[in-house]
Amino acid sequence: MPVYCKKLRLLYLWAGLALVACTDPSSVAQTAQEPKPQIAPQQVMRSFGPGQGVRLTREPCVGSYYSDRLSGDFAGYIKLERFIEQMVNEHGFEREYLLGLFSQAKRKDWTLNYFARSDKRSKKPLSPGSWSRYRAKFLGQERIGRAVAFGRRHKTALAQASEEYGVPGEYILGIMAVETSFGKHLGTHRVLDALTTLGFDYARRGAFFRDELRQFLLMARSEKLDPSTPKGSFAGAMGLGQFMPSSFRKWAVDFNRDGHRNLWDPEDTIGSIANYFVQHGWQSGKPVVAPLRIKKPVPLKVGCNTRYSVRSLQQAGLGFAQSLQTKDALCLLRLRYYKTDQYLIGYPNFYTITRYNRSTHYAMAVHELAQVIRQKL
Ligand SMILES: [Ca+2]
């Protein structure tokens, strides 16, 4: 039984609450002999007070972490100490548990160097052949073969997701293909290290990563995970579909109905990606892209940061068939092959794919993979 858990039980007793977080009744008597905890009872009452009933039924944290101060790579990090206080006061975590947990977190210099280099790189316009190179990387036979094998193995769950959410299985497979090639590239970085490093040593996006760290601790508690065990990308994305912790909490689903939302479980991932798509506007049965015949460069911004009405595209000199008469906001896409550029219209479903990753290349690779996978399956 972790030390923090015993202490938590004692706090509940002091607060006069009948409910005991840890369910082993035999250990309640032992805790009465333990030294007085540092947290005053009134703080406990405040943390678990009226209107915050959810705290009474929450799960205890997993892992035997305990320290009365921050040591290790993040010793002396005032912002991390403040963050811990926030998790204690706002989410009812045990202070000593978090101090112990973060005392063994590692600062990842490689990740900081990577982001520093990436920030310095100027955003150059895409060069000829940029799409050809990207496409070759993600539409290889090996990745497609893994998609077909995974699709056959999980065809029932894919059919069920397609039925329930209206998202075709081949697009769900397309996402998993690009993200991790069905588990081949899950990432080897401890999520705790990645998010702590980026949250407290990467000034430009620290607030974003601190919030992801907060969501990660809440996820670990609700899913009964030791927060030091999950591994993922160097930026903290996890599982077959590379969900960030905030995405997990908002959009992951327990698709195999075993009581857990598990980002490493194929069926939960299938349902979670489908749910993510629907929550970001996927329109069942609607198209994703349509090619345009344009011979010379178009004086309009390409990509999905700017979206156009059919009328505004027509006014810019683009001609359309009648079938393109739609009130939807459209993306104008440009794919650069070595010798030519191809222009396309991206419908709202294309925009939805870019909510998973903002890159036009990414969404186009998912779309093209989906076409190939559908044919092969
Ligand atoms: Ca599940």
Q: Is residue 237 part of a domain?
A: no
CA distances from 329 to 304, 312, 348 (A): 10, 10, 7
| HEC-encoded secondary structure of 41-81 | HHHHHHHCCCCCHHHHHCCCCCCCCCCCCCCHHHCCCHHHH
Looking at residue 373, its pLDDT comes to 98
Give Cα 245 to chain centroid, integer Å. Answer: 5
Q: Using the CB atoms, write b or e for 163-173: b if 16+ within 10 Å.
A: eebebbbbbbb
- CA 187 to CA 345: how far, in whole Å? 34
Looking at residue 55, its pLDDT comes to 42
Q: Is residue 15 part of a domain?
A: yes
Give the global pTM. 0.83
Q: Is residue 154 part of a domain?
A: no
80-132 pLDDT, tens digit each = 999 999 999 999 999 999 999 999 999 999 999 999 998 888 777 889 999 99
Containing structural domain, residue 60:
3-103
Decide: helix, strand or coil at residue 146.
Answer: helix
155-181 pLDDT, tens digit each = 999 999 999 999 999 999 999 999 999
Active site amino acids = 179
- What domain count does the chain have? 2
Looking at residue 3, its pLDDT comes to 39
Q: Is residue 305 part of a domain?
A: yes
Q: Is residue 13 part of a domain?
A: yes
Residue 256 C-alpha to ligand 1 middle, in angstroms? 5
**Ranges of H-type helices in the chain:** 3-14, 26-31, 41-47, 78-91, 95-103, 109-120, 130-138, 141-153, 155-165, 169-180, 191-201, 206-222, 245-251, 266-279, 310-315, 348-356, 360-376
Residue 255 C-alpha to ligand 1 middle, in angstroms? 6
6-60 pLDDT, tens digit each = 344 433 333 333 332 322 323 322 333 333 333 333 333 333 333 333 344 457 8
Q: Is residue 210 part of a domain?
A: no
Looking at residue 368, its pLDDT comes to 98
293-318 pLDDT, tens digit each = 887 778 899 999 999 998 888 888 88
Q: What's the number of CA atoms in the CB half-sphere (13 Å) around residue 209?
A: 25
Last residue of a domain, one of 103, 128, 160: 103
Last residue of a domain, one of 76, 103, 130: 103
Written as six digits, the tokens of 133 are 């190179």
Q: Is residue 320 part of a domain?
A: yes
Residue 278 C-alpha to ligand 1 middle, in angstroms? 19
Looking at residue 313, its pLDDT comes to 87
Q: Is residue 41 part of a domain?
A: yes
> Percentage of residues in the chain with pLDDT exceeding 90?
75
Give me the mean pLDDT over the 223-238 stretch. Answer: 97
Residue 231 has φ and ψ, to the nearest 5°, of -115, 155
Looking at residue 264, its pLDDT comes to 97
Residue 76 C-alpha to ligand 1 middle, in angstroms? 39
136-149 pLDDT, tens digit each = 999 999 999 999 99
